[in-house]
Amino acid sequence: MRELREIHLAYSRLRDLRKAIFTRLDQLLVLNRAGNRLGINRFDETTFLGLIRPIALELSYNAPTRIDAHMLRDVFFLRTVYLQNNTTERIESNAFLLRYNLHTLEPSEKRLQKGAQRFNGLFVLNRLTLVEPRPSRVLRLLQREGATSEREQDCS
């Protein structure tokens, strides 16, 4: 099982997953946990403990209200994170800090209390999708912080 490259658990009616359940899956590249409405109230440092190689995390349609700053502490090669339609209200400052390879980030919608510091350290980000009543305000903050340039921004 250590050689697994992809796990697709989408829409499988999972309500809870043991902490550190992925510790022995050090070759895993894709983890799809979308649509389970997992009962955990936050993604923290133990959620992805042991995963070091994933390049894509699909976590949409779950129920975390908070994303800790250390959630992706050991996930260095991550390129894509999908968090749409979650109940996330808070992403801790620097939760995505030093994700040098992160190209696509799609956080939750309107509930999220955004700030430019949440997206610091995203040097190769090509797509940041922010859906909120005033996306231009967030975009101005990001540009002032140097987090964006002429890259694609989807702020509908």
Mean pLDDT for the stretch of residues 53-76: 85
10 vs 41: which has the higher pLDDT: 10
Structure confidence at residue 104 (pLDDT)? 82
> Distance (Å, rounded) from C-alpha 142 to C-alpha 10?
32
CB-based contacts of 129: which residues, under 8 Å, 6+ apart? 84, 105, 106, 107, 154, 155, 156
Cα–Cα–Cα angle for 119, 87, 148, rounded to 5 degrees = 15
**Neighbouring-strand partners of residue 43:** 67
Structure confidence at residue 133 (pLDDT)? 44
Q: 134 by DSSP, 3-state: which? A: coil
Alpha helices in the chain (DSSP H): 135-145
Residue 29: pLDDT over 90 = yes
Structure confidence at residue 110 (pLDDT)? 55
Structure confidence at residue 112 (pLDDT)? 60
Structure confidence at residue 56 (pLDDT)? 92
62 vs 5: which has the higher pLDDT: 5
Token pair for residue 9? 């658990």
Residue 117: pLDDT over 70 = no
> Distance (Å, rounded) from C-alpha 75 to C-alpha 65?
21
Q: What is the pLDDT of residues 73-109, one digit of tens each?
A: 888 888 888 888 887 777 887 787 777 788 888 776 5
Q: For 62, which DSSP code?
A: -
CA distances from 81 to 56, 73, 126, 140 (A): 6, 14, 12, 22
- C-alpha R_g of the chain: 15
Residue 61: pLDDT over 80 = yes
Mean of all residue pLDDT scores within the chain: 74
For residue 18, name the pLDDT band (cuts at 50, 70, 90). confident
Structure confidence at residue 40 (pLDDT)? 66
